[in-house]
Chains A and B, each alone.
Chain A
Amino acid sequence: MGSINLKQVTKDFGDVSVIKPIDLAIKDGEFIVFVGPSGCGKSTLLRMIAGLEDTTSGNIEIDGQDATDTPPAKRGLAMVFQSYALYPHMSVRNNIAFPLKRAKVSKAEIEKKIASVTKTLNLSDYLDRKPGQLSGGQRQRVAIGRAIVRQPSAFLFDEPLSNLDASLRVNMRLEISELHKTLATTMIYVTHDQVEAMTMADRIAVFNAGIIEQVGSPLELYNTPVNKFVAGFIGSPKMNFIDIEPTATDATCCLGIRPEHITISTTSGTWPGKVGVIEHLGSETFLHVHVEGKATFTVKAGGDCPYVYGDNIYLSAVENKMLHFDAAGLTLSQ
């Protein structure tokens, strides 16, 4: 219950092709995150899986059944929207009960389910309030509650945390991960925030302009990105890129080195540079180092970093941690 198979799925809006042919197999019980820059088609693909957008070509299979033309309500999926999409005129109780009432579930059964869901989500005290009287985090919980009561075979989340403030976001992130562990239901989670993707996902699909660049576990994407786009998108702060001239024996056009894989020395190293802005986070420090003739490097150092603005230092890469990219941006194996 809850495997979803995308086969050569495409979507055009007029003559703009928003989703290029996509193949993706989502396993039952998996937490998969679609991540990519804004406008790359993540929401569109999610809405196609939900049945809210038609599929231009290709097939969507849910639990092995072709569901390409199945209406949304019959797909057994539940979605949590970015705007929460709560029904503003109904109390929290009625919002959560709405899908059950439409499915003609008995009154007693509805009461039982609401009680259990609101207990899980800490909503018991707010049952008779309207959505307008709730905080952002509480609305988010109601939206999740409305999705859970239907016991769907998969949950679809479309940037559910983007309207919350930073600290609440971290909390809700944990709560959703926790929920996935207890329910063990398939979850597809769309976000443009790679931190959310890295922390929550079993597998991540990196989107770019309507195609999937790479699918893999968070560490696979971090350690062995297939191309420059994935390497640059996954990891925070971003990977540093250094353009170099290819030689007859080596096709490398560009080197990639993560901020945490650079060592600093005051005496010698590969690249001499001047320290620019320093960001102290307490446990770690990010230095922006201007390297002559190259770009600005971001370097991650320990919490008690002794350097100050304007210091002259030398940078070198940790051995075997550098990535090589060819002219097309693909990763070369060393």
Chain B
Amino acid sequence: MATSNSRTLARLMLFPSVVLLLAWMLVPLCMTLYFSFLDYNLLTPGNNAFIGFLNYEFFLTDPAFFASFFNTILLVGGVLLITLGGGIGLAILLDQAIWGRNYVRIMVLAPFFVMPTVSALVWKNMLMNPVNGLFAHFATWLGMSPIDFFAQIPLLSIIIIVSWQWLPFAALILLTSIQSLDREQLDAADLDGAGPFSKFYYIVLPHLSRAITAVILIETIFLLSIFAEILVTTSGGPGYESTNITYLIYTQSLLQFDVGGGSAGGIVAVIIANIVAIFLMRLIGKNLED
């Protein structure tokens, strides 16, 4: 199937979908790029003058930008840490021959199917509410004063909620990887005198490295653009304490009607995402090669 005829035909037939995909991606990107150089505010319609890099200057020198930049890093890093640590633990547990493990696996996967807005609302109103939440009841039952999660530790609260959503994903990927481990290697390690910790560190963990890399790459892409959980719970507050880049762009362009500024922020976000992607691929991408 590799004659020059069939290759030409393949290219011809791929052509329309490639063009469509390119247009789908390029048109919004180019429009955003174009808007980012305009003085384009919906409250003052009409002039839309070209103002060069002024939008970028405003966005990048805004103290809110630095706050939200670090919040983004903390959010992504924190969730990765929790989901990987918890995911490895869960995967090892689910790999054991426990009674009814098929049902347990389905239950563990459940949070992933709940919409972000819904799960954030459930956490906000049922669990973390300082008056009626379960955590508050539990704290008073223990004789402690309840924590007002979204006022005192807003970013950590969001990290907890997002981790809860992504834990099943990590656990599932890692579980399939653990199941592909050759059991004879573990038997051999048993005979070689390796205890449970040595077996985990020298055999299971290296075997998981590919899956861990995949989880980091996929989760990072999605976690850079966390939005619904913030909107529903803290609205980025108090102050900018739980605002990430995505949420900052939303406040800029939609709450302040500043299309130009928001577009500049969007382009900055695209650049940051690409830097992170290159950085990650350099750092751990070699794990994916054979």
A50 in contact with B191 (CB, 8 Å): yes
B190 in contact with A85 (CB, 8 Å): no
B182 in contact with A78 (CB, 8 Å): no
A56-76 interface (Cβ within 8 A of B) = 71-73
B192 in contact with A85 (CB, 8 Å): no
The answer, among A78, A83, A86, for a CB contact under 8 Å with B191, is A78
A99 in contact with B184 (CB, 8 Å): no
Task: A77 to B188: give the CA distance in the assembly, Å.
Answer: 11
B198 in contact with A102 (CB, 8 Å): yes
B206 in contact with A89 (CB, 8 Å): yes
Task: A229 to B69: give the CA distance in the assembly, Å.
Answer: 77
The answer, among B182, B191, B203, B209, for a CB contact under 8 Å with A72, is B191
**Nearest CB of A to B183, in Å:** 9
A73 in contact with B190 (CB, 8 Å): yes
Look across to chain B and name the residue whose beta carbon is closest to the beta carbon of A94.
Answer: B202
B203 in contact with A87 (CB, 8 Å): yes
Does residue A328 face the partner (Cβ distance < 8 Å to B)?
A: no
B193 in contact with A81 (CB, 8 Å): no
Look across to chain A and name the residue whose beta carbon is closest to the beta carbon of B205.
Answer: A89
Task: A102 to B198: give the CA distance in the assembly, Å.
Answer: 8
Task: A72 to B267: give the CA distance in the assembly, Å.
Answer: 60
A99 in contact with B190 (CB, 8 Å): no
Task: A248 to B190: give the CA distance in the assembly, Å.
Answer: 60
**Nearest CB of A to B100, in Å:** 18
Does residue A146 face the partner (Cβ distance < 8 Å to B)?
A: yes
B194 in contact with A79 (CB, 8 Å): no
Chain B residue numbers with a CB within 8 Å of A78 are: 191
Chain B: interface residue total (CB-CB under 8 A): 17
Does residue A121 face the partner (Cβ distance < 8 Å to B)?
A: no
Does residue B207 face the partner (Cβ distance < 8 Å to A)?
A: yes
Does residue B187 face the partner (Cβ distance < 8 Å to A)?
A: yes
- The dominant DSSP class at the B interface is helix
Task: A86 to B206: give the CA distance in the assembly, Å.
Answer: 13
Chain A residue numbers with a CB within 8 Å of B193 are: 73, 99, 102-103
Contact with B along A90-108 (1 / 0, CB 8 A): 1000000011001100000
Does residue A242 face the partner (Cβ distance < 8 Å to B)?
A: no
Does residue A176 face the partner (Cβ distance < 8 Å to B)?
A: no
Chain B residue numbers with a CB within 8 Å of A99 are: 191-193
Chain A residue numbers with a CB within 8 Å of B194 are: 73, 98, 102
Does residue B185 face the partner (Cβ distance < 8 Å to A)?
A: yes
Task: A90 to B202: give the CA distance in the assembly, Å.
Answer: 9
Task: A290 to B193: give the CA distance in the assembly, Å.
Answer: 58
Task: A77 to B198: give the CA distance in the assembly, Å.
Answer: 19
- Given A83-B182, A87-B202, A89-B206, A73 and B187 touching (CB < 8 A)? no
Contact with A along B103-119 (1 / 0, CB 8 A): 00000000000000000
Chain A residue numbers with a CB within 8 Å of B190 are: 51-52, 71-73
Chain A residue numbers with a CB within 8 Å of B203 are: 87
The answer, among B188, B198, B206, B209, for a CB contact under 8 Å with A81, is B188
Task: A85 to B183: give the CA distance in the assembly, Å.
Answer: 8
Task: A311 to B203: give the CA distance in the assembly, Å.
Answer: 63
Look across to chain A and name the residue whose beta carbon is closest to the beta carbon of B188.
Answer: A85
Contact with A along B53-93 (1 / 0, CB 8 A): 00000000000000000000000000000000000000000
Chain B residue numbers with a CB within 8 Å of A89 are: 206-207, 209
- Given A87-B203, A89-B206, A79 and B191 touching (CB < 8 A)? yes
The answer, among B182, B198, B206, B207, for a CB contact under 8 Å with A85, is B182
Show 9 residue pairs from A and B whose CB-CB distance is below 8 angstroms, ordered by the A residue: A50-B187, A73-B192, A78-B191, A86-B185, A87-B203, A87-B206, A89-B206, A98-B194, A98-B202
Residues of B near any A CB (own CB < 8 A): 182, 184-185, 187-194, 198, 202-203, 206-207, 209
Residues of A near any B CB (own CB < 8 A): 47, 50-52, 71-73, 77-79, 81-83, 85-90, 98-99, 102-103, 146, 150
